[in-house]
């Protein structure tokens, strides 16, 4: 234990120098315009740290999110999409779900009052089956959307009560419903149905597809995150739990993106 602590103390200044060097070099990289982030590992981090309640891990993860968003906007990233609560998360123990949704609501209300949000001209949007959320949370979401609706310098998309398969189902349903309301018969609808028609009804119609998707905690899968939009995205998987995500981890993700040769299926 003592050896581990001493090792970390010795390594700290070297990591600081490495981080500063990476920051300087990153100004020459080809950076993504749109980053998607799967914030994974809050619960496991809380258990490893011996915290009495899982919600404490989520709270630390929410603090980390503010920090990471600062890094993104300082780097010149225009759009960030984060996944904070999936449709599958509703199946977790009810106490944990209630506490997590209460935490999310509190942080959303804080964002609405945040001077940084307004000085940064951050437009905040939400994607997912919002109607499944508690009324008070839906109200907080609408208030934040309304107060940032006229901003266009930076964009933050928050995926909540979100599932990639559900999004595709919703998109197809909306596409077919619109065609039926327009008087088209089912044979015509099926004949004209293609990915362009469906794309107009997906959740992120006002944002370009993500260039880079980052997932923390060592899981090497998307778990349904932006399934439709991520066909040509680059992926970066990080072993670090979300609450421990460091700026050096973020910079490594950007470096990895810069080193990729994007082919878009060609």
Provide the annotated active-site residues: 40, 89
Q: How far apart are CA 181 and CA 123, in angstroms?
A: 32
Those residues whose C-beta lies under 8 Å from the C-beta of residue 151, and which sit 6 or more positions away, are 118, 121, 122, 123
Q: Tell me if residue 81 falls in helix, strand or coil.
A: strand
Nearest to 108 by CA among 86, 88, 129, 85: 85
Q: What are phi and psi of 124, to 5 degrees?
A: -110, 125
Nearest to 111 by CA among 102, 123, 128, 95: 123
Q: Tell me if residue 220 falls in helix, strand or coil.
A: coil
Paired strand residues for 214? 37, 236
């Amino acid at each position: 234990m003592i050896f581990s602590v001493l090792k970390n103390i010795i390594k700290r200044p070297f990591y600081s120098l490495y981080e500063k060097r990476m920051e300087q070099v990153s100004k020459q990289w080809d950076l993504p315009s749109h980053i998607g982030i799967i914030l994974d590992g809050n619960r496991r981090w809380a258990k490893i740290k011996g915290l009495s309640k899982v919600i404490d891990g989520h709270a630390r993860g929410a603090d980390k999110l503010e920090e990471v968003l600062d890094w993104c906007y300082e780097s010149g990233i225009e759009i960030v999409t984060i996944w904070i609560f999936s449709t599958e998360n509703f199946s977790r123990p009810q106490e944990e779900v209630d506490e997590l949704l209460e935490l999310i609501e509190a942080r959303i209300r804080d964002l609405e009052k945040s001077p940084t949000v307004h000085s940064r001209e951050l437009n905040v949007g939400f994607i997912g089956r919002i109607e499944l959320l508690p009324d008070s949370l839906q109200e907080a979401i609408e208030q934040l959307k309304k107060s940032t609706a006229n901003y266009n310098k930076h964009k933050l998309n928050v995926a909540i009560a979100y599932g990639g398969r559900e999004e595709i189902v919703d998109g197809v349903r909306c596409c077919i419903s619109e065609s039926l309301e327009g008087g088209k018969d089912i044979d015509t609808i099926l004949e004209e149905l293609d990915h362009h028609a469906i794309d107009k009804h997906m959740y992120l119609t006002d944002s370009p597809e993500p260039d880079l998707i980052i997932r923390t905690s060592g899981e090497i899968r998307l778990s349904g995150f932006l399934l439709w939009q991520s066909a040509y995205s680059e992926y970066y998987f990080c072993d670090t739990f979300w609450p421990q995500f460091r700026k050096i981890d973020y910079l490594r993700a950007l470096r990895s993106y810069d080193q990729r040769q994007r082919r878009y299926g060609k």
